[in-house]
Amino acid sequence: MARGLNNWSYKDVTTFLKEHGFSYWEPREGSHEAWGNEETGKIVEPAFHGKSETYPIRTMKMLVMQSGISEEEWRKWAAS
């Protein structure tokens, strides 16, 4: 379960993105994918490394930055 920016899984990230107007666009290099928001033009590139894997904090900060959604909003969603 995600807490703050800790313990975010691929499923947590993609669920959050879907709830905030993003959708899957295309595969990218390696295990990365492009998730885009047509309204904002933002593209987030999470990687899928397995169901039990979680992202390191630095990776989460990059995903937050790519999304254009405030870190506060990500943390609020994780607390719900």
Q: Is residue 37 part of a domain?
A: yes
Query: What is the predicted pLDDT for the residue at 17?
Result: 98
Domain count, the chain: 1
Secondary structure of 26-56 in HEC code, one letter for each residue: EECCCCEEEEEECCCCEEECCECCCCCCECC
7-65 pLDDT per residue, tens:
999 999 999 999 999 999 998 988 999 999 999 999 999 998 777 789 999 999 999 99
3 lies in some domain: no
Task: Give me the CATH number covering residue 34.
Answer: 3.30.920.30
Is pLDDT of 69 > 80?
A: yes
Q: In this structure, is residue 52 part of a structural domain?
A: yes
Domain range for 42: 10-79
In a domain, 2, yes or no: no
**Structural contact between residues 72 and 50, judged by C-beta atoms closer than 8 angstroms:** no
Residue 49: its pLDDT value, please? 78
pTM, full prediction = 0.91
